Amino acid sequence: MIYPQNFENKIGFDTIRRMLKGKCLSTLGEDMVEAMGFMDDYEEIDNRLNQVVEFVRIIQEEDNFPDQYFFDVRPSLNRIKIEGMYLEEQELFDLRRSLETISSIVAFLKRDADDEDSDSPYPALKELAGDVIVFPQLLLRINGILDNLGKIKDNASAELLKIRRELASTSGSISRSLNSILRAAQSEGYVDKDVTPTMRDGRLVIPVVPALKRKIKGIVHDESATGKTVFIEPAEVVEANNRIRELEGEERREIIRILIEFSKVIRPQIPAILDSYEFLAEIDFIRAKAHVAITTNSTKPSFENKKILDWIQSVHPILQLSLAKHDKKVVPLDITLDENQRILIISGPNAGGKSVCLKTVGLLQYMIQCGMLISMNERSHVGIFKGIFIDIGDEQSIEDDLSTYSSHLTNMKIMMKNCNDESLILIDEFGGGTEPQIGGAIAEAVLKRFNEKKTFGVITTHYQNLKHFAEDNEGVVNGAMLYDRHNMQALFQLQIGNPGSSFAVEIARKIGLPEEVIADASEIVGSEYINADKYLQDIVRDKRYWETKRQNIRKREKQMEETIAKYETDIAELEKRRKEILKTAKEEAEKVLRESNAKIENTIRTIKELRPIRRKLVMRVRN
């Protein structure tokens, strides 16, 4: 459930929807964008997210995705369901090109997966294309009657070929006759040398100055806007021009006959063709979501089938694009909601980013449950809710005689009635719009009911009693929008764990309110409140200081861990090299030893072989 009806406008999703429509290639995708809505089925959302992730890869890595011809011929196909109706040439041309596109897309998505067990680079999109019917035989039939420019071919029928041949012959005869008449008129000086035959009302004519129009026998068909030229159809070609008109009529009737006959062929296949166009519409829609994701630097975080917000560096995409035009950046939002801290009470100064934080949560959660990628660190964890309720802005209605506060109370009533442990509520300036004491009390009572229902939510407020409620009740946690007290400027950073100060006194001084007025106000509210607010500021300041220290320590620890890991890697590499050197040296020594032993053995063998020869020589010498 989504409440209220103008939810999208309040969080900025209406702008996202316009961006999507602007990225669509046809009304096919635009209709899908218009029909897009909040989903609460985890499997369906996850599948749609995967489709967009895959298409982002296609845009970034592929150059040959077939997206040239996205024509919406559904109205034409629905029209020719009626017997006797037919597709015009242009409609048939659009049908052919878009059916070719559907066929090419299906082939593209299945190109690396010829069987069901093969891996595909785009499994979610391949599954989407799995049952889509393509129409090769129908395309062959269309190619048989349409040329490459989408016009009916001469040989689409024997009768059409005959008519067009006669048309060409008659037109050639007229052209030759006109040129002959024109040359004669030019030689007589009735017509300028640079004049050529022209077309008026579908008939070939000769331009002539009005004073000489009687020199050429024929019918005056028209005159120029200035009145300085009249257009004469010579009598010699009137009959031929009439025949041209007749032939053109015959040609049109034959073309209509061909189109009617072909529409009879298409008519039984219209339901299947329309199903294929639903696929083309889906592709156009997914492609638009992928382009918006690239524009907004969006990704798919860890999407989990439970209630959780564990977001890192999330940003409101519309605000991000708006600031980027002025070379500015959004301060990222880190926020965590889980079963232990379900409701976050955000306090802090006005214009400190509380409402932006609220709208960021609403927009990004709504986007992902509409099947869109979102702008946050991909290490984030995003859950799923059955309903989102929002109360933000001035809802005063003159017609219904509702004040702003009455409208807020009406929203609270609806929320309390319908929310549960699977709902996300987003409330801005909780309890505002009426006398603070009773407004704060009613807000606390309502907050208690929300907590009892174990709903999730983000609520902004200035009321101290709601901050105390968050401190004293499990499931509710305080959060502060940080403020630089020294430089007197908002930091737009959310810090969960402590309530924030409104910095009312400091902001009053910065604006230049007289000091005596500030002193009177402080005396009216009491020193206890002023001191409590000061202590709260000090706590937030100290926490920020120690948080910075902790982050620096963690950063140094990480650097040390990286250095130690590097040293350990280097030592391991050195030990590996030492072992390799020893192994190599041992192998070389063994090789030298083997070679030496072989030489010794060869020497001994040679000596043994020479001994008998030596004995014989000695014997000969003695004898």
pLDDT in tens, 51-104: 999 999 999 999 889 989 999 999 999 999 999 899 999 999 999 999 999 999
- 376 and 271 in a single domain? The answer is no
pLDDT given at position 398: 39
pLDDT given at position 405: 76
- 211 and 289 in a single domain? The answer is no
- 42 and 124 in a single domain? The answer is yes
- 206 and 123 in a single domain? The answer is no
Domain membership of residue 200 as a residue range: 162-244
Q: Which of 510, 534, 560 is the last residue of a domain?
A: 510
Residue showing tokens 């609520």: 459
Domain count within the chain: 3
Give how far the C-alpha of residue 207 lies from the chain's centroid of Cα atoms, to the nearest Å: 58
Q: Which of 486, 510, 534 is the last residue of a domain?
A: 510
Q: Which of 446, 475, 510 is the last residue of a domain?
A: 510
- 436 and 309 in a single domain? The answer is yes
Asked if 387 and 424 count as a contact pair (C-beta separation under 8 A), the reply is yes
Distances (CA, A) of 477 to 240, 389, 472: 92, 19, 9
What tens digit of pLDDT does each residue of 20-42 get? 999 999 999 999 999 999 999 99
610 lies in a domain?
Answer: no
pLDDT given at position 400: 45
- 211 and 269 in a single domain? The answer is no
Where does residue 543 fall: left (phi above 0), alpha (psi -120 to 50 degrees), or beta otherwise? Answer: alpha
Low-confidence residues of the chain: pLDDT under 70: 112-118, 187-190, 192, 194, 211-215, 222, 225, 393-403, 433, 484-490, 500-512, 518-519, 521-548, 613-614, 616-623
CATH code of residue 108: 1.10.1420.10
pLDDT given at position 337: 94
**Which has the closest alpha carbon to 149: 197, 97, 194, 84?**
97
Q: Which helix (H) or strand (E) holds 425?
A: strand 423-427
- 363 and 488 in a single domain? The answer is yes
Give how far the C-alpha of residue 267 lies from the chain's centroid of Cα atoms, to the nearest Å: 35
- 212 and 182 in a single domain? The answer is yes
End-to-end CA distance of the chain: 129
pLDDT given at position 174: 81
Spatial separation of the C-alpha atoms in residues 155 and 164, rounded to whole Å = 10
Neighbouring CB atoms inside 10 A of 487's CB total 8
pLDDT given at position 205: 78
- 234 and 122 in a single domain? The answer is no
Cβ neighbours for 459, distance < 8 A, ≥ 6 positions apart? 343, 344, 345, 346, 425, 426, 427, 430, 447, 466
Tokens of 38: 């909040």
Tokens of 519: 């002193």
Measured over the CA atoms of residue 617, residue 619, residue 622 and residue 623, the dihedral's sign is negative
- 344 and 467 in a single domain? The answer is yes
**Which has the closest alpha carbon to 357: 345, 372, 369?**
345
Cβ neighbours for 423, distance < 8 A, ≥ 6 positions apart? 1, 385, 386, 387, 388, 389, 453, 455, 456
